[in-house]
């Protein structure tokens, strides 16, 4: 059995008989990750993202971010002057909304804004929405992001929390995206917080969680 990519503990296999995909589920922190043989290549991944047309014309998409800012950012806004949207995508909706609220926001995205503007900087807030489920080594990325967070600053992640039940997991819509390779739940995030010495401030039991670097 493979070791968990988050906590290095033992995993068990979950096999999707419909797609033949194989997942590894950690018995300790509950992280679930797809077998690497099922990963798609970078060109196909980029082609998949190019199909997304998330802009201010997508009213539901904009509303999602407005609600997230209201619920998770607004109450801490006095201490947030600078932000980084890590994996912002092509549309820049979230950075623009933050800037409209008075928070200066840098953009980084592997495909659309590849310049590593965060190097040599620290931020009051780093946001990463619908990104961590795409990462091969999410804990290492989390550690790197934490180096760019001010003391008492925040990391806000959006990634759907997976069902605990294996049968529900295999019926879950989120695993149908061919670019999604890693899946978290609150147990996983509690482990990450303890491991990295940060604090979970708030989560919505569904797909958004806010950490503070104390």
pLDDT of 208 over the 80 cut = yes
Decide: pTM greater than 0.75. Answer: yes
Q: Contact, 68 vs 60, CB < 8 A?
A: no
Report the first-to-last Cα separation within the chain, whole angstroms: 36
Structure tokens at 102: 């008075």
Quick one: pLDDT at residue 91? 87
pLDDT of 53 over the 80 cut = no
- Angle of CA points 39, 33, 196, to nearest 5°: 120
Structure tokens at 131: 């990104």
pLDDT of 52 over the 90 cut = no
Average the pLDDT over 51-57 and give the result.
84
Q: Contact, 180 vs 21, CB < 8 A?
A: no
Tens digits of residue pLDDT in 149-192: 999 999 999 999 999 999 999 999 999 999 999 999 999 999 99
Q: Contact, 25 vs 16, CB < 8 A?
A: no
DSSP 10-59: BEEEEE-TTT--EEEEESSS--EEE-GGGPPPHHHHHHHHHT---STT-H
| Separation of alpha carbons 197 and 182, rounded Å | 22
- CB contact set of 148 (below 8 Å; sequence gap of 6+): 84, 118, 121, 122, 123, 126
Tens digits of residue pLDDT in 133-142: 999 999 999 9
Nearest Cα to Cα of residue 125 among 90, 154, 96, 166? 154
Q: Which domains does the chain have, with CATH numbers?
A: 40-159+187-212 (3.40.50.150)
Mean of the per-residue pLDDT values for the chain? 97
Q: Contact, 133 vs 160, CB < 8 A?
A: yes
């Amino acid at each position: 059995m493979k070791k968990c990519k988050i906590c290095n503990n033992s995993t068990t296999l979950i096999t999707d008989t419909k797609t033949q995909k194989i997942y590894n589920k950690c018995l300790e922190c509950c992280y679930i990750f797809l077998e690497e043989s099922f990963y798609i290549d970078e060109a196909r991944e980029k082609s998949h993202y190019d199909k997304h047309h998330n802009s201010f014309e997508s009213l539901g998409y904009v509303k999602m971010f407005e609600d997230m800012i209201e619920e998770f950012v607004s109450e801490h806004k006095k201490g947030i002057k600078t932000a980084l949207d890590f994996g912002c995508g092509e549309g820049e909706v979230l950075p623009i909304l933050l800037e409209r609220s008075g928070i200066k926001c840098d953009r980084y995205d592997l495909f659309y804004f590849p310049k590593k503007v965060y190097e040599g900087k620290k931020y009051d807030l780093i946001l990463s929405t619908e990104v961590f489920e795409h990462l091969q080594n999410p804990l290492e990325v989390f550690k790197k992001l934490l180096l760019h967070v001010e003391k008492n600053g925040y990391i806000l992640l959006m990634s759907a929390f997976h069902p605990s039940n294996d049968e529900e997991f295999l019926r879950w819509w989120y695993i149908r995206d061919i670019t999604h390779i890693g899946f978290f739940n609150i147990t996983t995030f509690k482990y990450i917080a303890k491991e990295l010495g940060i604090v979970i401030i708030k989560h919505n039991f569904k797909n958004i969680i806010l950490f503070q670097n104390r």
